[in-house]
Amino acid sequence: MIVEAILLTVITASTPLVIAAVGELVSERAGVLNLGVEGMMIIGAVCAFIATQWTGTPYLGLLVGVATGALFSLLFGFLTLSLVANQVATGLALTILGLGVSGMLGESFVGVPGVKMQPIAIPLLSEIPFLGPLLFNQDIFFYLSIALVVGVNWFLFRSRAGLRLRAIGDNHGSAHTLGIPVLRTRYLAVMFGGACAGLAGAQLSLVYTPQWVENMSGGRGWIALALVVFAAWRPWRLLAGGYLFGAVTIGQLHAQALGIGLPSQFLSALPYAATIVVLIIISHNRRTTLINTPACLGKPFVPDR
């Protein structure tokens, strides 16, 4: 069915957005604004692809992508949390560094056929007409994206550790006074965000386009950042927003295939134009934005001050 095929491509396109955005959401809930998502995604993509080529095992490539993203995020954490560097400037530098390093590492792998991650069919459920192939015959990245949304939602709003993390994001000074380890919690949040970005990058090179292409993240890290704001820092809204942006991305590809009389450059820009439009709409509702935005987002914390 054509509808089923389109929905399958929407799911594949939306999965890396959801994964990367979930990680950034946790980081921002802790009060850390990491604009280096794009850089961590692309470095995760190239390392996952290289590891898969060397071992022939895409699952090992997945783990390498996660580990690389987490390690790369530690550089950001050290500069912004320990050395109290500007978070915005450091995040932008991290993106530029990731794009450059990934291009260097992947230079000899351009055009090399990749090893695609095969879908995992859940017995019986995958045989359900229409819904079976869509929801129960997917690759591991899809299942992980749903598990991450559910797990993060429970962690933030149902666990004591999640309450502490949100307290740090809202008022790190008071949290420190109460004995909550602010820097350690923020380091863990940043590493989780990096691991998710690396996982999202691995999905790009192992499932979405099973090969290595320079700059293959294509701005998805920036869309993931916008998704966090779009979702008002709520995991379930983020899931819906991720699929909305994924549908826009796939929609413009189908529009080009149908030969709609619009410039291909305009159609390719639609996902990013949609991001700008959504941010403009959100900015008009300042009350909701102020209520949900972590009060200490982007603000440095130095214990002895």
Q: What pLDDT shows up at residue 285?
A: 66
Structural domain 2-292, CATH architecture: Orthogonal Bundle (1.10)
Q: Provide the token pair at 83.
A: 């050395």
Q: What pLDDT shows up at residue 206?
A: 95
Q: What pLDDT shows up at residue 250?
A: 83
Task: Answer for the pair 39, 6: CB distance below 8 angstroms, yes or no.
Answer: no
Burial 11-45 (b: 16+ CB within 10 A, else e): bbbbbbbbbbbbbbbbbbbbbbbbbbbbbbbbbbb
Collapsed DSSP state (helix, strand, coil) of residue 211: coil
Q: What pLDDT shows up at residue 288?
A: 61
> What is the C-alpha radius of gyration for the chain, rounded to an integer number of angstroms?
19
Q: CA–CA separation, 117 vs 102, rounded Å?
A: 21
Q: What pLDDT shows up at residue 127?
A: 87
Output the DSSP codes for 42-81: HHHHHHHHHHHHHHS-HHHHHHHHHHHHHHHHHHHHIIII
Tens-digit pLDDT string for the chain (305 aa): 677 888 889 999 999 999 999 999 999 999 999 999 999 999 999 999 999 999 999 999 999 999 999 999 999 999 999 999 999 999 999 999 999 999 999 999 998 888 889 899 998 888 888 888 889 999 999 999 999 999 999 999 999 999 999 999 999 999 999 999 999 999 999 999 999 999 999 999 999 989 999 889 988 999 999 899 888 899 998 998 899 888 888 877 766 666 666 676 666 677 777 777 777 776 666 666 666 789 999 999 988 65
Write down the domain spans for the chain. Answer: 2-292
Q: What pLDDT shows up at residue 184?
A: 96
Task: Answer for the pair 112, 212: CB distance below 8 angstroms, yes or no.
Answer: yes
Q: What pLDDT shows up at residue 284?
A: 67
